Chains A and B, each alone.
Chain A
Amino acid sequence: MQKNYYQPEAETMQVEDIKKLQEEKLIKQVKYVYDNVKYYRDLMDERGVKPEDITCLSDISKLPFLTKDDLREAYPYGMLATDLKNCVRIQSTSGTTGKRVVAFYTQNDIDMWEECCARAIVAAGGSNEDVVQVCYGYGLFTGGPGLNGGSHKVGSLTLPMSSGNTNRQIQFMMDLNATILCCTPSYAAYIGESLKEKGYKPEDNKLKAGIFGAEPWTEEMRRDIEKSLGIKAYDIYGLTETSGPGVSFECEEQTGMHINEDHFYAEIIDPDTGEVLPEGSKGELVFTSLDKEAFPLLRYRTRDITILTREKCSCGRTFIKMKKPMGRSDDMMIIRGVNVFPSQIEAVLLNLGYAPNYLILVDRVNNTDTFEIQVEMLPEDFSDTPKVITKKEKKIQSAMKEMLGINPTIRLVAPKSITRSEGKAVRVIDNRKKIGINI
């Protein structure tokens, strides 16, 4: 297979050269932040660290971390490193877990971000001969604008669909021969389901690849989507705080996402102690931007739990790879004292042949956590007596117990009764948060 890169000079750089480049950029970026961002300068002064103390990559461990709380604290302009007149764009997080975080971009920042997305599209086989259908949300959410910009850079014909209106998505996809689909994995699964309902077979569409991200998804879900759409599904990763999607992306090997190391420096730390862990260890992913102008972040804790590895990749890219995050620690629930990730629940369901449509309900009754998982039943689960359903519920329950270590209540519900998402899927309703229990 012919190897295609958007920016081969960066993507296939020798590892020593990457490190050298990162070191040069880091030293500059730290000084730039210290000089221009009072919030971070104060954090550095508190620790007694000066920009001159950062002379090589490993010195980064001397720098303080930033968390989402810092960004909320500094809202809206506290992290801004340049004059507003130099900025051309604002994007924002969804703000579902509290105050929004807003990120600023200069034109150079936008170009860098879009180039990262362009690398992802080319890695998924995209070129100027492709029709890229972007059904991530457009607007403040970075998904739509990021992939849209990347697709322009590649020269692909871009369909700026935004999310929602599935009938129209399908009509455009079929009529205009879309070849690459960009959306959340849950929406891709829903589009696949809708195509099937309309009587289309996977080979009826012209899609060859999908670039899916913005929410955690499992390998099982990947295989399901690939089958239902007849495509190869690529993972993409990013967060508004660092730029947006495209911080890392998957190549045809599908064994992890290459981090765009010429723009971002990644570390894995012990989430409890903050200690930097060696390559191959599982821990929290921390990013440092290396050349951002408007909203540079040093040592930003993503809350994502993953592993970094720099094994030789058959695609020829030399950038370090991160494993699919096992779930943001924000998504992690502590139920009856046990850590539970929605991705584990999804894996169990997909393994048993269920669709990735489920709802996790957590509450606290009489000081005990209640934990219910609603799952859409399969046609064969239902006959004329409740006992067949009860038996299936027991089967799912014991598989969950094996995976999670605790017993959820399983409730099979009618097919299509769980609301489908057009953007990020709502999988968890934790009512303990409403009543102010500290979890």
Chain B
Amino acid sequence: MAIKQLSIFVENREGTLVTVTDAIAKAGVDIRAMSVADTNDFGIFRLIVTDTVKAKQALDEANAFVSITEVVAVALEDKPGSLAKVVKTLADNNINIEYMYAFITVSKQFAYVVLRVENNEETEKILVENGIKLVTEEDMEKL
């Protein structure tokens, strides 16, 4: 069920983000969501894209350093309280969120949240039990 996220190592130097984004652009891959983790010396550029395999290949060819991580994605009603419900559900079940980020699309009906947790399967099971809608790889392609 989990979806694939690209994590790209970017050094704090001019132009590194250009190389990365250029490679994805030239591969004709669309970026759905992104977040950046940064330290003093480097950043980790996390992306959800329309075609992970193609993007990974393009990045490898551009000599970028990439790893693939599986993350949980959920679709929420785009209204107050939706995110709070997800977070509370996870907290009640002792599931720690390592990081998360959200994105919306043109539909305006749903907002999407990407969650990085320790155990994807367990998290997904709890979310489904609590009536929260998961997003699959196939769903992502249609967004």
Which A residues are within 8 Å of any B CB, using their own CB? 377, 379, 382-386, 389-390, 411, 413-417
Contact = CB atoms under 8 A, between A and B. Distances in A.
Contact of A384 (B38, B42, B116): B116
B11 A414 contact: yes
Given A414-B9, A417-B11, A382 B41 contact: no
A384 B69 contact: yes
A384 B46 contact: yes
Given A384-B5, A385-B44, A386-B44, 20 more contacts: A379-B67, A382-B7, A382-B9, A383-B67, A384-B46, A384-B69, A385-B37, A385-B98, A386-B37, A386-B39, A386-B42, A389-B42, A390-B39, A411-B41, A413-B11, A413-B42, A414-B11, A414-B65, A415-B65, A417-B11
Nearest 4 CB-CB pairings of A with B: A384-B7, A384-B69, A414-B65, A386-B39
A424 B10 CA distance: 29
Interface in B33-51: 37-39, 41-42, 44, 46
A383 B63 contact: no
Contacts of A384: 5, 7, 37, 44, 46, 67, 69, 116
B63 A416 contact: yes
A11 B38 CA distance: 61
Interface string B115-128: 01000000000000
A415 B63 CA distance: 9
A214 to B, nearest CB: 29
Contacts of B44: 384-386
Interface residues of B, number: 18
Nearest to B6: A384
Contacts of A385: 37, 44, 98-99, 116
Contacts of A383: 7, 67, 69
Interface in B50-83: 63, 65, 67, 69
Interface in B124-138: none
A322 to B, nearest CB: 41
6 contacts: A382-B65, A383-B7, A385-B98, A413-B11, A414-B9, A416-B63
Nearest to A376: B65
B125 to A, nearest CB: 22
Interface in B1-40: 5, 7, 9, 11, 37-39
A347 B116 CA distance: 37
Contacts of A414: 9, 11, 65
A383 B46 CA distance: 10
A354 to B, nearest CB: 15
A64 B9 CA distance: 57
B87 to A, nearest CB: 19
Contacts of B39: 386, 390
Contacts of B42: 386, 389, 413
Nearest to B13: A417
Contacts of B7: 382-384
Contacts of B99: 385
Interface in B84-130: 98-99, 116
A383 to B, nearest CB: 5
Contacts of B69: 383-384
B45 to A, nearest CB: 10
A394 to B, nearest CB: 13
A417 B63 CA distance: 9
Residue from A377, A384, A385, A390 having most chain B Cβ neighbours under 10 A:
A384
Nearest to B98: A385
Contacts of B65: 377, 382, 414-415
A384 B63 CA distance: 18
Nearest to A411: B41
A416 B42 CA distance: 16
A385 B5 CA distance: 12
A374 to B, nearest CB: 10
A384 B45 CA distance: 8
A373 B56 CA distance: 29
Contacts of A416: 63
A377 to B, nearest CB: 8
Contacts of A382: 7, 9, 65, 67
Residue from B9, B37, B63 having most chain A Cβ neighbours under 10 A:
B9
A413 B63 CA distance: 13
A358 to B, nearest CB: 15
Nearest to B70: A384
